[in-house]
A and B are shown apart, each in its own frame.
Chain A
Amino acid sequence: MKLFKVLTMLIATIILPHSALADVAFSGYGSIVAGKTFGRIDDPLNPGQKRDEILTADFYDVGQYDNDIKFTPESVFALQALVDLGHDLKFTAQLVAKGTDDFEPEFDWYYLTYQVNDSWSVMAGRRNIPMYYYSEFSEVGYAYPWMRPPSNLYWWQITQFNGFHANYDFELGDYSNNLTFFYGNENSYDNKEMLFYDELFGGNARSVDEFWSDILGFNWNITGDNFEVRFVYFQNDRDRTTTAQDGTETDSVPFDQQFLGFGGYVNFNQFSFLFDWNHVEYDDDVGTEYPTYLVSLVYNIGDFQPYITYSKADHERTKTAAATKDLEEHYILGYGVRYNFHPSAAFKIQFDKFEEQGEASTGWAYHGDSRTLTLGIDFIF
């Protein structure tokens, strides 16, 4: 899939020198967030030892808060260039710099969009996988009320892929509909999150490569005056290769994954109710399932948006001799305020209570409880 990147970048380099003729629009977003946890806990993976409370605010990039005030786990800056090539063809690229990567900019998104006709458009390139309701814009802090979409649901080691999207817009009664079909692959060499887990559980791997292939699925968005709902289904193959320090490679047993979700929001008077329900299933030998959901209530009053949110994640095995629900399990209860102090910027303050509910003896209760306060400013330009 390096080829894919090379091809897309090649197209970009052919296009960009001519951009004097084309219409280029720059925009961007960013978040500056600082936070810390409070107190220390018994280390769930090292009984008898104490450690700082830790909140993983960004699983994919392993952005974690501890007792020291930190700016890096969630701060991000992104510059987007939209090149209108004319004749309904556009090229979009996003250069993203994250605190978790020492603010080294990377092209996280690059894709071509072709508007076929009034109803159909196609996109080809690198984008976020449309998994959870907030997945595609999970890093655009300005776009949602909270500091972040609840991180205990957005816990996957893969968030982006190279692929194709076909979008179909249509009206059904009074409702605007969008159907998006997508197909693609992601080969994540030296996956940051998986290597982190390897170390966390006492491993000594040099690298872990994660492969999600034949990602195939659809989104269906229905928007009315005061609500939006979204269905999502996709499936993909999962493979993993762990490379030891001596170069020995070990392949994990591959399996298929299915992702199902239903989310959206409803506005009534000054309140917004946001929700997302998801179910992930593996066709592995033990019948792994991950039921997750979030509910949130936001009160919109003037420039202020106080909110409360509850997100719950669970991990079960349904096919083992003793089917068990007592594996990884936790919830986050978060509350805070978004203050829209500027037309293009918002201040947020949020308190999160992470409650570990997994069974410690299984080794899956590795997060540990935490209390975290974060303050941040999200902006767009």
Chain B
Amino acid sequence: MEKIHPLKSKPALFIGLLLACLFISNIAFAEIAVIVHPDNSASLDKKAIKKIFMGKKKKYDNGNVILPMNASKGAASRDSFNKLAIGRTTAQVNAYWSKLVFTGKGTMPRELTSDAEIIATVSANKDAISYVDASAVTDAVKVIATY
């Protein structure tokens, strides 16, 4: 036990330093608009939107399969959406999905590369749902919620 003691403080110090770095992060979130096809008349509240992007709601009331789409990994809109609509950080949401994906219990929403591509895809697909920075919204899509 005597031998262990002096070494024990090393990892503790390491972790202590890391903890000290914790209070630096402070991120501002942009306004996010959740969008669907203009003809999509499904009534989805914020609770339903959260369920869709957590893989817990898979079909519209009319029976059609919902096609949720994410912004690309690392996109600011994805971080904002996760934080504001799901209430978790992107890392936490990814961790949640990795559990489902690698146990065969879910398929992560498809990823699109830009707001423009998201709008183009959603405007071309009646069952798609996605989100963009609120400033990027055009008439080609319908906004059903903002955060």
A contacts, CB < 8 Å to B: 25, 27, 29, 38-40, 53, 78, 80, 82, 92, 94, 109, 111, 113, 118, 123, 127-128, 136-137, 140, 142-144, 167, 176, 223, 225, 300-304, 306, 335-337, 339-340, 343-344, 346, 349, 351, 371, 373, 380
Contacts and interface: CB of A to CB of B under 8 A. Distances in A.
Given A27-B102, A92-B104, A303-B91, 4 more contacts: A137-B98, A335-B15, A351-B12, A371-B7
Contacts of A80: 101-102
A111 B74 contact: no
Nearest to A343: B73
Contacts of A304: 18, 21-22, 25
Contacts of B91: 303, 340, 343, 346
B25 A303 contact: yes
Contact of A349 (B14, B92, B98): B14
Given A39-B3, A301-B25, A337-B15, A371 B8 contact: yes
Contacts of A303: 25, 89, 91
Interface stretch (B29-37, B51-59, B119-127): B51-59
A113 B104 CA distance: 8
A349 B102 contact: no
A140 B74 CA distance: 21
Task: Name the 9 nearest CB pairs between A and B, nearest first.
Answer: A302-B25, A340-B91, A343-B73, A39-B4, A351-B11, A143-B99, A38-B7, A39-B3, A373-B11
Interface string B17-56: 0110111111100000000000000000000001100001
Contact of A38 (B4, B94, B96): B4
A140 B102 contact: yes
Contacts of B74: 343
A143 B104 contact: no
B84 to A, nearest CB: 14
B104 A349 contact: no
Given A143-B95, A144-B95, A223-B56, A302 B102 contact: no
A118 B58 CA distance: 8
Contacts of B105: 167
A380 B94 contact: yes
Most buried by B among A78, A142, A143, A371: A143
B138 interface: no
Contact of A344 (B19, B73, B101): B73
Interface of B: 3-4, 7-8, 10-12, 14-15, 18-19, 21-27, 50-51, 56, 58-59, 73-74, 87-92, 94-96, 98-99, 101-105, 107
Contact of B98 (A38, A40, A140, A306): A140
A337 B18 contact: yes
17 contacts: A29-B102, A94-B102, A123-B104, A127-B103, A136-B103, A137-B99, A140-B102, A143-B99, A144-B99, A167-B105, A303-B91, A340-B90, A343-B90, A343-B91, A371-B4, A371-B8, A380-B98
Interface of A is mostly: strand
Most buried by A among B14, B27, B73, B91: B91
A300 B86 CA distance: 15
B11 to A, nearest CB: 4
A192 B87 CA distance: 43
A109 B8 CA distance: 39
A300 B92 contact: yes
A53 B4 CA distance: 10
A372 to B, nearest CB: 9
Contacts of A144: 95, 99
Contact of A29 (B26, B89, B98): B98
A111 B103 CA distance: 10
Contacts of B99: 136-137, 140, 143-144
A306 B22 contact: yes
A191 B107 CA distance: 33
Nearest to A134: B99
